[in-house]
RNA sequence: GGCGGCAUAGCAAAGCGGUAAUGCAAGGGACUGCAACUCCCUGACCCCCGGUUCAAAUCCGGGUGCCGCCUCCA
């Protein structure tokens, strides 16, 4: 079996054949850095992080490029509003972006170009498009000149999004102000002349800045060449961003541009798209204040990347319980397996089946729910083995299973490290959040737990059970173990 | 108005022509003073109607419902 990928261009899942055997070049549209990222952004970058990891697992040498858009209307507006420079603003949010991505366990792409450092390439590409007759120049509003891409001169326009210009006109005409300078209202800016006070760069058309789409065309070309394998982003970029990128790039150099277009589905809330404009979004920081980063990452991988993913406390709570369960099982398995440390174990059927299942799941359009199912079966086998009285079986399943969990972990970017601290962090972060030190809630819990310990000591089980019931209603579960009566917060409503 | 996607057990989610992965929840059992944790067992014929096929959740046609894009948006 070979790798199959859903290609937006063909609307089909098709066999992946890279331009150069064994290598994959991949470009993913990065963020416009004027604000914190929300969960929708998190999904894109986690998904493509896993895709890059998966490709590497499958043996490809991957070159992953992801840009920062640091010149844009929204950036200028926000910087003006804040009374700071665009550079200060963008640098701040790039730093914040890295903090979020690091917490979520996303590897850095191989190249992370910024628009502001690629003006030479951008101007050159605009010039090439003009020279080849696919763009025209009009007078700008404040002097200088604007350059527009002429979609009527480019026959394949609409191929990616599957719509004709006529289709678009019907809906767009009532919402978009007419610009009489444009030949076709759907023509889009390649270069915009500077308005007073805006950041601007020199060009053959006077001082100005790039239009929205050209940066990705120029930067992908510079770092991956005029033709490359994978181009990714959220579904909302299909039109107009990617459609326009495709048109510009092909108009500039005739090369194939991206061969496979991958688009991830939206994160939704109550089935509606999470977006800035609707205001129904949570930033990554909002979520990480309540849930462990591994929980958010796990949750983001529970649905196939092309499908919508509905965001809710319930889903995150379920993911919490699951991640905790897996981490605890793995930690326990490691503790049990430690005594066999260094002893070799023959690969068993379980391990090789899991390896084959992992590969198959990844080759099936990076099917992370399937990978999670493989992991679940593996962890279940490990859980059974821990209980097993058969020492030989136990040893082979635990050691073999743990080593294969690592292979899966490296692809998912989950459970890569030591599982014991992860389990501890999940419980402790919930404890700190719900029962902070010196809080009335904490004192309440400690008081009841002490009373219960006392009740049990005198074998007053009726009283002990009553206290446990009370704690449970207060969101606390108590477990009587060899180490005594331990308590921890319930991870979400059950 | 145009274009596109989705509809699978209580919930979430795989499946891409050969009689439905996985997770959560729920029920039963083992364990436990009782519980919790853990382990074992239990669940759906796939929105509706037609069609193609020896065979369809999976393909085709028609409905219904939800969502997205066509304006900045991951």
Q: pLDDT-derived band of residue A339, with 50, 70 and 90 as boundaries?
A: confident
Give the least confident one: A183-192, A279-288, A335-344, A473-482. A335-344
Provide the Cα torsion A274, A278, A279, A283; round to 10°. Answer: 20
CA distance A407 to A287: 28
Q: What is the pLDDT of residues A68-97, one digit of tens each?
A: 999 999 999 999 999 999 999 999 999 999
Q: What is the pLDDT of residues A395-443, one digit of tens each?
A: 989 999 999 999 999 999 999 999 999 999 999 999 998 999 999 999 9
Residues facing A27 on adjacent strands: A65, A231
pLDDT of residue A451: 96
Q: pLDDT-derived band of residue A58, with 50, 70 and 90 as boundaries?
A: very high
Query: Measured CA to C1', what is the nucleotide nearest A377?
Result: B22
Q: Which of these, A139, A118, A135, lies nearest to A193 by C-alpha position?
A: A139
Q: pLDDT-derived band of residue A153, with 50, 70 and 90 as boundaries?
A: confident
> For A294-299, what is the mean pLDDT?
98
Q: pLDDT-derived band of residue A248, with 50, 70 and 90 as boundaries?
A: very high
Q: Which residues contact A27 (CB under 8 A, 6 or more apart)?
A: A65, A66, A67, A216, A219, A220, A223, A224, A228, A230, A231, A232, A258
**Is the CB atom of residue A437 positioned under 7 angstroms from any atom of strand B?**
no
Consecutive H or E run containing A484: strand A484-489
CA distance A148 to A216: 16
Q: pLDDT-derived band of residue A1, with 50, 70 and 90 as boundaries?
A: low
CA to C1' distance (Å), from A362 to B18: 24
> For A326-332, what is the mean pLDDT?
97
pLDDT of residue A174: 55
> For A332-348, what is the mean pLDDT?
79
**Is the CB atom of residue A304 positioned under 7 angstroms from any atom of strand B?**
yes
Helix/strand/coil for A124: helix
Helix/strand/coil for A291: coil
CA to C1' distance (Å), from A27 to B6: 27
Instruction: Give the CATH number of domain A20-273; options: 3.30.70.20, 3.90.1300.10, 2.60.40.2310, 3.40.50.620.
Output: 3.40.50.620
- To the nearest whole percent, how much of chain A has pLDDT over 70? 95
In the predicted model, is pLDDT for residue A349 greater than 70? no
Q: Which residue is nearest to nucleotide B40 (CA to C1')?
A: A384
Q: Which of these, A148, A147, A169, lies nearest to A158 by C-alpha position?
A: A169
Biggest distance spanned by C-alpha atoms of chain A: 92
CA distance A327 to A414: 10
In the predicted model, is pLDDT for residue A173 greater than 90? no
Residues facing A15 on adjacent strands: A4
Q: Which of these, A32, A12, A34, A3, lies nearest to A236 by C-alpha position?
A: A32
CA to C1' distance (Å), from A12 to B18: 23
Tell me the domain boundaries of chain A: 20-273, 290-422, 435-489
pLDDT of residue A162: 85
pLDDT of residue A347: 56
Instruction: Give the CATH number of domain A290-422; options: 2.170.150.70, 1.20.120.640, 3.30.70.1400, 3.30.2350.10.
Output: 1.20.120.640
Q: What is the mean pLDDT of chain A?
A: 93
CA to C1' distance (Å), from A193 to B36: 68
**Is the CB atom of residue A329 positioned under 7 angstroms from any atom of strand B?**
yes
Query: Measured CA to C1', what is the nucleotide nearest A158?
Result: B3
Q: pLDDT-derived band of residue A450, with 50, 70 and 90 as boundaries?
A: very high
> For A226-251, what is the mean pLDDT?
96
CA to C1' distance (Å), from A167 to B51: 32
Q: What is the pLDDT of residues A193-208, one digit of tens each?
A: 999 989 999 999 999 9
Beta strands in A10-169 (DSSP E): 12-15, 23-28, 61-66, 135-139, 145-149
**ipTM of this model?**
0.96
Q: Strand B: which positions are within 7 A of a protein CB?
A: 1-6, 11-16, 21-26, 32-40, 66-74
Q: pLDDT-derived band of residue A351, with 50, 70 and 90 as boundaries?
A: low
**In terms of DSSP bridges, do strands A61-66 and A23-28 run parallel, antiparallel, or are they unpaired?**
parallel
Query: Measured CA to C1', what is the nucleotide nearest A361?
Result: B14
C-alpha angle A224-A241-A296 in degrees, rounded to nearest 5:
80
Query: Measured CA to C1', what is the nucleotide nearest A468?
Result: B35
Residue A91 backbone dihedrals phi, psi, to 5 degrees: -65, -40
**Is the CB atom of residue A430 positioned under 7 angstroms from any atom of strand B?**
no
Beta strands in A134-210 (DSSP E): 135-139, 145-149, 188-193, 208-210
CA distance A90 to A79: 9
CA to C1' distance (Å), from A79 to B58: 52
> For A298-317, what is the mean pLDDT?
96
CA distance A71 to A65: 18
Q: What is the pLDDT of residues A213-232, one digit of tens each?
A: 999 999 999 999 999 999 99
Query: Strand B and chain A: which residues 6-35 have CB closer than 7 Å?
Result: 11, 13, 29, 31-32
């Amino acid at each position: 079996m070979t790798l199959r990928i859903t290609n937006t261009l063909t609307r089909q899942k098709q066999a992946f054949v890279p331009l150069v055997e064994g290598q994959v070049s991949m470009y993913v549209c990065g963020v416009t850095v004027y604000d914190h990222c929300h969960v929708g952004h998190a999904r894109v970058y986690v998904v493509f992080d896993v895709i890059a990891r998966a490709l590497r697992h499958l043996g490809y040498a991957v070159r992953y490029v992801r840009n920062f858009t640091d010149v844009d209307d929204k950036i200028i507006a926000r910087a003006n509003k804040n009374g700071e420079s665009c550079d200060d603003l963008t640098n701040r949010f790039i730093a914040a972006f890295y903090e979020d991505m690091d917490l979520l366990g996303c590897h850095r792409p191989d190249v992370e170009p910024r628009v502001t450092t690629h003006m030479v390439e951008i101007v050159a590409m605009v010039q090439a498009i003009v020279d080849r007759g696919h763009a025209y120049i009009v007078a700008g509003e404040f002097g200088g000149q604007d350059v527009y891409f002429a979609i009527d001169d480019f026959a394949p326009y609409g191929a990616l999004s599957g719509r004709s210009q006529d289709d678009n006109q019907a809906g767009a005409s009532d919402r978009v102000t007419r610009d009489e300078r444009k030949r076709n209202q759907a023509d889009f800016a390649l270069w915009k002349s500077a308005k007073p006070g805006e950041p601007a760069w020199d060009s053959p058309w006077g001082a100005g800045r790039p239009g929205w789409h050209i940066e990705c065309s120029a930067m992908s070309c510079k770092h991956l060449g005029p033709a490359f394998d994978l181009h990714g982003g959220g579904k909302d970029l299909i039109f107009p961003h990617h459609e326009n990128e495709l048109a510009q790039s092909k108009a500039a150099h005739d090369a194939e541009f991206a061969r496979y277009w991958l688009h991830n589905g939206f994160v939704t809330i109550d089935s509606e798209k999470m977006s800035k404009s609707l205001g129904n979004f949570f930033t990554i920081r909002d979520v990480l204040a309540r849930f462990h980063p591994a929980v958010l990452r796990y949750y983001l991988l529970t649905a196939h990347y092309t499908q919508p993913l509905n965001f809710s406390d319930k889903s995150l709570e379920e993911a919490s319980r699951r991640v905790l369960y897996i981490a605890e099982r793995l930690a326990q398995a490691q503790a049990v397996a430690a005594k066999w440390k260094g002893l070799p174990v023959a690969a068993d059927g379980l391990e090789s089946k899991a390896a084959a299942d992992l590969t198959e799941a990844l080759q099936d359009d990076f099917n992370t729910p399937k990978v999670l199912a493989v992991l679940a079966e593996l962890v279940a086998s490990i859980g059974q083995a821990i209980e097993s009285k058969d020492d030989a079986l136990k040893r082979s399943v635990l050691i073999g299973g743990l080593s294969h969990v690592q292979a899966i972990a490296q692809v998912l970017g989950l459970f890569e490290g030591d599982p014991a601290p992860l389990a501890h962090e999940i419980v402790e972060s919930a404890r700190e959040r719900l029962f902070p030190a010196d809080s009335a809630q904490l004192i309440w819990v400690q008081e009841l737990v002490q009373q219960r310990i006392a009740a049990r000591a005198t074998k007053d089980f009726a009283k002990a059970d009553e206290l446990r019931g009370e704690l449970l209603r207060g969101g606390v579960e108590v477990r009587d173990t060899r180490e005594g009566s331990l308590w921890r917060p319930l991870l979400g409503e059950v």
